[in-house]
Amino acid sequence: QVQLAESGGGLVQAGGSLRLSCAVSGLSFRSYFMGWFRQAPGKEREFVAAISWGAATTNYAETVKGRFTISRDNAKNMATLQMNSLKPEDTAVYYCAADRNGVGHYDYWGQGTQVTVSS
């Protein structure tokens, strides 16, 4: 059974930092692109960041570029999202997802972790 479990969300003041983790089991982790998405209340889910199989390639939404860093540890089956200089508009439920073919079609999703940034 494939499981993606996010952790690390919480409440932080604007300008602060959080580090999200995604623990993956039940699939060959190193064979999947990993992505982070978020969904704010009343808004559609949006792409945040993605990382290729061997971490050679990363991609970020313009809204988080320079503030967020995606990484992965293939030995631990873990993906992380380091979020710095957080803004109130970063408030959302954050999801990690796994993409087998690296073409932006995500096959598996986690349950999400809430991030709230206060002003």
Looking at residues 33-43, what average pLDDT do you find? 97
Looking at residues 67-90, what average pLDDT do you find? 98
**pLDDT at residue 113, as a whole number:** 98
pLDDT for 103 beyond 90: no
**pLDDT at residue 95, as a whole number:** 98
* Distances 70 to 30, 42, 43, 54, 119 between C-alpha atoms, Å: 15, 26, 23, 12, 24
pLDDT for 118 beyond 90: yes
**pLDDT at residue 31, as a whole number:** 95
Mean residue pLDDT across the chain: 97
Looking at residues 58-67, what average pLDDT do you find? 98
pLDDT for 96 beyond 90: yes
Question: Measuring CA to CA, which residue among 112, 111, 8 is closest to residue 68?
Answer: 8
